[in-house]
Structure 1
């Protein structure tokens, strides 16, 4: 079911790219609803690994979805642009997610580069299989989510939300792709080193999940790297605003839209008489 939600969202946003159709706004609505549904369907998994970032995102998706659907139904230009960003992101991500040889090729490249970096850092690993690395009895599986392709697709989608020149497109790509890809290799290296070396065996009542040694993975992956990735994306977004000034105005317009709509919603709830 979870995989179908992602597929439905992907198909809907790709259909949104079809120009001059009266159904574009409905395709976008299906896409956003499917994304929110995916976030909530994944909550049991994220709770099982004590990941706090995605449950927060899932909770925030409720008011976001409310405003987004209302705005799409009236064909608000700003939300149509935001949906275009999501569609471009899926256009980049979908081949790696649904063409198995391509996705496996990317994973294999990241595995090889991460293994090389670990050896260079003095933490050599062995291969249990083509994408599972082991050291000191601890195994780490590299999957598509470990390649950085989602973040790359999202940020390039953001860059595609407004009209740009060829020069701006090239500069945006050079800012996003090498930065995220290379830093993601360092991220994988840090997480695997910390987990297999048991660097952070702290607060098992918070960080543990019953698996021996998981605490080090939790602090390295779910806390340090999640927060670091968030700061990185903010920095890259700032760089995109400099390269593409129109993105700054677009972000400001979006902020005003959501603030106004949510303010109205809160007032309605407060003014509604108790039943």
Structure 2
């Protein structure tokens, strides 16, 4: 994937990037990070198949390896987020991803079987995202459609720059005249600007749990709709803030250029994208999660696992939110050896014990 600092024609352009891929391209034409991502997701899926076949030891080992590979994948993104995107938030998250993922793998290998629900969620996220990332026709349609929709949004605010080819080869670049704008720069849409990453997160989360199909489809449709709208607002905001220098105040320019090595003309873009938009994105994700939980409380199960990994403390979100009746069969908070329903049934030795429903 081209750098967001690449030139589009003779005019400077900036990609609205927040979760792209590093352009480490091998002789075979496949990005190293893409290959690593596929390997991790493939390992996640293999672990789930092995668990389904009741090969528990092998499933735990494969799952643990998958988590480590997933962490390494994010580690390879650190130079990109730090050097090219210049995003402190994404740099920090990518850096801590490896130890966190390695810890998840360790817990899973040690017997915390409840982590398989989180493993399934991440695997399905990858299944949704990676084909879109790697199928040219789908990728082109998403990028160019998002560019057109963003342009419509700009027109609502009185700006109609037109669209031409961006540095990534798609009709996705907003053709502002550099002689008429404040910074002389513009932006172009890439895959990350389509919101597909966030959509994949909630799609995988909802698909990973057992719940009535109608509720799952409702939650998925709601999440996709909200993400689409907020992503469109985000693109319009950044797409206008960059060329028109909404944040080119002298004190900001001095701060960003002196301490962060930023190009003076990129300050408005960096503030709009890396600080305002990304911070609000975190708030939006929390809000969307709340809406999804209201419809499909079963997703609290993988969220409990996330909290345990981050804090080392067991949380019972089902009880806290008065949703205990939605707890998956056999799933419960507990020590690192928490059991799935199948594990719990297999460990029952008294024939008088009633079967779990």
- Shorter-chain-normalised TM-score: which range? 0.7 to 0.9
Between the aligned partners of 2:34 and 2:162, the Cα distance in structure 1 is 31
Q: How does 1:236-251 map to 2 (within 5 A)?
A: 236-251=288-303
2:187 to 114, 131, 140: 140
Moved more, 111-120 or 185-194: 111-120
Give the aligned partner of residue 128 of structure 2.
92
2: CA distance, partners of 1:216 / 1:41: 27
Q: CA deviation at 1:198?
A: 0.6
When residues 159 and 62 of structure 1 are mapped into structure 2, their CA distance, relative to the original with a 3 A threshold, is: same
Q: Distance in 2 between matches of 1:141 and 1:16?
A: 39
Between the aligned partners of 1:259 and 1:213, the Cα distance in structure 2 is 41
CA RMSD after TM alignment: 2.3
Q: Indicate yes or no: 2:266 matched with 1:214.
A: yes
Query: Which whole-Å CA distance do the structure 1 matches of 2:143 and 2:207 have between them?
Result: 25
Give the 5 Å matches for 1:1-275: 1-18=32-49, 19-20=52-53, 22=55, 23-48=58-83, 49-129=85-165, 130-137=171-178, 138-202=185-249, 203-208=252-257, 209-256=261-308, 258-260=310-312
CA–CA separation in structure 2 for the residues paired with 1:154 and 1:62? 19
Partner of 1:272: none
**What is the TM-score when the length of structure 2 is the normalising length?**
0.67
Q: Identify if the C-alpha distance between structure 1 residues 250 and 210 changes in structure 2 by more than 3 Å, giving closer, same or farther.
A: closer
Are residues 81 and 167 of structure 1, via their aligned partners in 2, closer, same or farther at CA, if it must alter by over 3 Å? same
**1:29 CA displacement:** 3.0
Distance 1:206 1:164, change over 3 A: farther
CA contact 1:126–1:134 (8 Å) conserved in 2? yes
Residue 44 of structure 2 contacts residue 66 of structure 2 at CA under 8 Å; is this kept in 1? Answer: yes
Quote the Cα distance in structure 1 between the aligned partners of 2:199 and 2:74: 19
Q: 2-side partners of 1:170 and 1:70: how far apart? A: 34
Bigger mean CA offset, 198-207 vs 51-60: 198-207
Unaligned 5+ segments in structure 2 are: 1-31, 166-170, 179-184, 315-357
- Give the whole-Å Cα distance in 1 for the aligned partners of 2:108 and 2:255: 41
Say which SS state the counterpart of residue 131 (structure 1) adopts: strand
Give, in whole Å, the separation in 2 of the partners of 1:33 and 1:232: 28
Q: Give the superposition deviation at 1:218.
A: 0.6
Q: Which residue of 2 aligns with 1:271?
A: none
For 1:25 and 1:82, locate their aligned partners in 2 and report how far apart those are by CA, in whole Å: 13
The SS at the match of 2:175 is strand
- Is 2:71–2:102's contact at 8 Å kept on the other side of the alignment? no
CA drift at 1:249: 4.8
Richer in helix (by share): 1
Number of matched residues?
262
Q: 1:71-98, CA deviations, whole angstroms, 9 ceiling, x for partnerless residues? A: 2213423211101000111111122111
- Normalised by the size of structure 1, how large is the TM-score? 0.86
Aligned 8 A contact 1:171 1:243 in 2: yes
Name the structure 1 match of 2:326: none
Which one has the largest radius of gyration?
A: 2
Deviation at residue 257 of structure 1 after TM alignment: 5.4
Compute the displacement of 1:232 (Å).
0.6
CA deviations over 1:119-154 (Å, ceiling 9, x no partner): 122122232311222314223121111100011001
Structure 1 runs, 4 residues or longer, greater than 4 Å off: none
Which deviates more, 15-24 or 31-40? 15-24
- Distance in 2, matches of 1:212 and 1:168, equals 49
Gapped runs of 5+ residues in structure 1? 263-275
